[in-house]
Amino acid sequence: MSRILRVKDKDFKLLIPRSAIATRVAALAEQINADFHGQEVLFVGIMNGSFIFAADLLREIKLCATISFMRLSSYQGQSSAGQVEMVFGLPGDLKGKNVIVLEDIVETGTTLEYAIGMIKKMNPARLAVATLLFKPQALTRTISLDYVGFELEENFVVGYGLDYDGYGRNLSSLYVMA
């Protein structure tokens, strides 16, 4: 039973149902709770895509935690390698803090590499990355991912915060282009 869903002008089909996402997000939170036991953590969500992942993950976090969001915009130049520029951002002082960056999806890794670079300059005590989705075949940057929800093929997905041209973020499951 695979229902086709129209988002803007394209067809998508169910990839990961909301229940499976919830189970996996809870498991990631449990790992983070164990790894950072007794410590304080500042989560930094990358806007816009991570907002639902961040909201669900944070509610499973049992640590002393705060959250902030940074927005990066990436645009395509003439080459296929995207450029990234920060639009708005980070809390002023990350020095000595444990920081966990939250991403919706890592594809080439360009967005994340930029975010990590910015954060590292501020000398956090510990820096980790949690991404709901990872397309390993598309990775072109050298970055390490500490917590990964699901590995995907290189197909385009929407839902659970991820968009197609701005649409589809409100879908509670993940859908892949049909």
Nearer to ligand IMP, 33 or 48 (CB): 48
Subset of 53-112 contacting ligand IMP (CB under 6 A): 74, 82, 103-112
Beta carbon of residue 94, minimum distance to ligand IMP (angstroms, whole number) = 21
* Closest to 134 measured CA to CA, from 115, 113, 108: 108
Contact 144, 136 (CB under 8 A): no
Beta carbon of residue 128, minimum distance to ligand IMP (angstroms, whole number) = 17
> CA 50 to CA 91: how far, in whole Å?
17
Beta carbon of residue 125, minimum distance to ligand IMP (angstroms, whole number) = 25
Subset of 85-124 contacting Mg ion (CB under 5 A): 104
> CA 29 to CA 27: how far, in whole Å?
5
Quick check: 116 binds ligand IMP (CB under 6 A)? no
Quick check: 49 binds Mg ion (CB under 5 A)? yes
Contact 5, 175 (CB under 8 A): yes
Footprint of ligand IMP (CB under 6 A): 49, 74, 82, 103-112, 156-158, 162-163
Footprint of Mg ion (CB under 5 A): 49, 104
